[in-house]
Structure 1
Amino acid sequence: MANYVITGKNGSGDSVVSIQIGAISQEGTVVPELDVVNAVRAFLGTVSGIGSVVAQKFEQVITNV
Protein backbone atom coordinates (compact mmCIF):
# COMPACT_ATOMS: atom_id res chain seq x y z
CA MET A 1 0.00 0.00 0.00
CA ALA A 2 1.07 3.54 -0.67
CA ASN A 3 1.30 6.22 2.01
CA TYR A 4 -1.00 9.22 1.75
CA VAL A 5 -0.74 12.70 3.25
CA ILE A 6 -3.94 14.74 3.25
CA THR A 7 -3.49 18.43 3.99
CA GLY A 8 -6.15 21.00 4.75
CA LYS A 9 -5.24 24.59 3.94
CA ASN A 10 -6.86 27.85 4.96
CA GLY A 11 -7.93 30.60 2.56
CA SER A 12 -4.39 32.01 2.50
CA GLY A 13 -2.94 28.65 1.44
CA ASP A 14 -1.28 27.92 4.78
CA SER A 15 -1.46 24.31 6.04
CA VAL A 16 -3.66 24.03 9.12
CA VAL A 17 -4.11 20.26 9.42
CA SER A 18 -2.27 17.24 8.04
CA ILE A 19 -3.40 13.61 8.18
CA GLN A 20 -1.15 10.68 7.28
CA ILE A 21 -2.55 7.31 6.21
CA GLY A 22 0.12 4.63 6.25
CA ALA A 23 -1.86 1.40 6.33
CA ILE A 24 -5.37 0.06 5.96
CA SER A 25 -5.61 -3.48 7.31
CA GLN A 26 -8.29 -5.63 5.70
CA GLU A 27 -8.83 -9.20 4.56
CA GLY A 28 -8.95 -8.99 0.78
CA THR A 29 -10.23 -5.76 -0.72
CA VAL A 30 -13.17 -4.69 1.42
CA VAL A 31 -12.76 -0.95 0.85
CA PRO A 32 -10.54 0.48 -1.90
CA GLU A 33 -7.83 2.67 -0.37
CA LEU A 34 -8.75 5.64 -2.57
CA ASP A 35 -12.29 5.56 -1.16
CA VAL A 36 -10.84 6.03 2.33
CA VAL A 37 -8.58 8.88 1.17
CA ASN A 38 -11.47 10.58 -0.63
CA ALA A 39 -13.71 10.23 2.44
CA VAL A 40 -11.12 12.00 4.60
CA ARG A 41 -10.69 14.69 1.92
CA ALA A 42 -14.45 15.21 1.75
CA PHE A 43 -14.71 15.49 5.53
CA LEU A 44 -11.92 18.07 5.75
CA GLY A 45 -13.62 20.06 3.01
CA THR A 46 -16.64 20.56 5.31
CA VAL A 47 -14.65 21.89 8.27
CA SER A 48 -14.85 25.64 8.81
CA GLY A 49 -11.53 27.38 8.28
CA ILE A 50 -10.42 24.91 5.60
CA GLY A 51 -10.32 26.51 2.15
CA SER A 52 -8.81 23.64 0.16
CA VAL A 53 -7.73 20.04 0.66
CA VAL A 54 -4.80 18.33 -1.07
CA ALA A 55 -3.95 14.62 -1.03
CA GLN A 56 -0.48 13.36 -1.94
CA LYS A 57 0.41 9.74 -2.64
CA PHE A 58 3.86 8.38 -1.83
CA GLU A 59 5.04 4.97 -3.00
CA GLN A 60 8.31 3.21 -2.35
CA VAL A 61 10.02 1.94 -5.46
CA ILE A 62 12.78 -0.65 -5.11
CA THR A 63 15.15 -1.19 -8.03
CA ASN A 64 17.67 -4.01 -8.14
CA VAL A 65 20.83 -3.24 -10.09
Structure 2
Amino acid sequence: MPSYVVTGKNSSGEPLVSVNIAAVNQDGAVVQELDVVNAVRAELAGTAGIASVVAQKYEQVITNV
Protein backbone atom coordinates (compact mmCIF):
# COMPACT_ATOMS: atom_id res chain seq x y z
CA MET A 1 0.00 0.00 0.00
CA PRO A 2 1.23 3.49 -0.71
CA SER A 3 1.67 6.02 2.05
CA TYR A 4 0.29 9.54 1.96
CA VAL A 5 1.31 12.88 3.44
CA VAL A 6 -1.47 15.47 3.72
CA THR A 7 -0.18 18.99 4.42
CA GLY A 8 -2.18 22.07 5.37
CA LYS A 9 -0.57 25.38 4.39
CA ASN A 10 -1.26 28.99 5.31
CA SER A 11 -1.84 31.78 2.80
CA SER A 12 1.93 32.29 2.45
CA GLY A 13 2.38 28.66 1.43
CA GLU A 14 4.15 27.66 4.64
CA PRO A 15 3.19 24.24 6.03
CA LEU A 16 1.27 24.45 9.32
CA VAL A 17 0.23 20.83 9.86
CA SER A 18 1.18 17.51 8.30
CA VAL A 19 -0.65 14.18 8.60
CA ASN A 20 1.10 10.93 7.62
CA ILE A 21 -1.09 8.02 6.55
CA ALA A 22 1.04 4.89 6.41
CA ALA A 23 -1.69 2.27 6.19
CA VAL A 24 -5.43 1.78 6.17
CA ASN A 25 -5.91 -1.67 7.74
CA GLN A 26 -9.20 -3.43 7.02
CA ASP A 27 -10.40 -7.04 7.13
CA GLY A 28 -12.40 -6.46 3.98
CA ALA A 29 -12.81 -3.65 1.51
CA VAL A 30 -14.86 -1.31 3.72
CA VAL A 31 -13.58 2.07 2.52
CA GLN A 32 -11.28 3.09 -0.30
CA GLU A 33 -7.92 4.52 0.81
CA LEU A 34 -8.53 7.67 -1.25
CA ASP A 35 -11.76 8.25 0.67
CA VAL A 36 -9.72 8.31 3.89
CA VAL A 37 -7.17 10.72 2.37
CA ASN A 38 -9.95 12.97 1.07
CA ALA A 39 -11.64 13.00 4.49
CA VAL A 40 -8.39 14.19 6.09
CA ARG A 41 -7.99 16.80 3.34
CA ALA A 42 -11.54 18.06 3.91
CA GLU A 43 -11.01 18.27 7.68
CA LEU A 44 -7.82 20.30 7.26
CA ALA A 45 -9.39 22.53 4.60
CA GLY A 46 -12.18 23.49 7.03
CA THR A 47 -9.73 24.49 9.75
CA ALA A 48 -9.14 28.19 10.51
CA GLY A 49 -5.79 29.39 9.25
CA ILE A 50 -5.44 26.73 6.55
CA ALA A 51 -5.53 28.26 3.06
CA SER A 52 -4.62 25.17 0.99
CA VAL A 53 -4.22 21.44 1.44
CA VAL A 54 -1.88 19.20 -0.53
CA ALA A 55 -1.85 15.39 -0.53
CA GLN A 56 1.23 13.53 -1.76
CA LYS A 57 1.31 9.83 -2.51
CA TYR A 58 4.46 7.75 -2.04
CA GLU A 59 4.86 4.22 -3.39
CA GLN A 60 7.77 1.86 -3.09
CA VAL A 61 8.66 0.05 -6.27
CA ILE A 62 10.81 -3.08 -6.02
CA THR A 63 12.43 -4.49 -9.15
CA ASN A 64 14.02 -7.93 -9.18
CA VAL A 65 16.76 -8.57 -11.72
TM range (shorter): over 0.9
Q: How does 1:17-28 map to 2 (within 5 A)?
A: 17-28=17-28
Match of 1:10 in 2: 10
Match of 2:38 in 1: 38
Alpha-carbon RMSD across the aligned residues, in angstroms, is 0.5
Matched AA of 2:31: V
Residues paired across the two proteins, number: 65
- What 5-or-longer segments of structure 1 have no aligned partner? none
Paired with 2:13 and 2:34, the residues of 1 have a C-alpha distance of 24
Paired with 1:48 and 1:22, the residues of 2 have a C-alpha distance of 26
Q: Percent identity?
A: 66
Please identify runs of 4+ aligned residues in structure 1 that moved more than 2 A: none
The secondary structure found in structure 2 opposite 1:55 is strand
Q: How does 1:41-56 map to 2 (within 5 A)?
A: 41-56=41-56
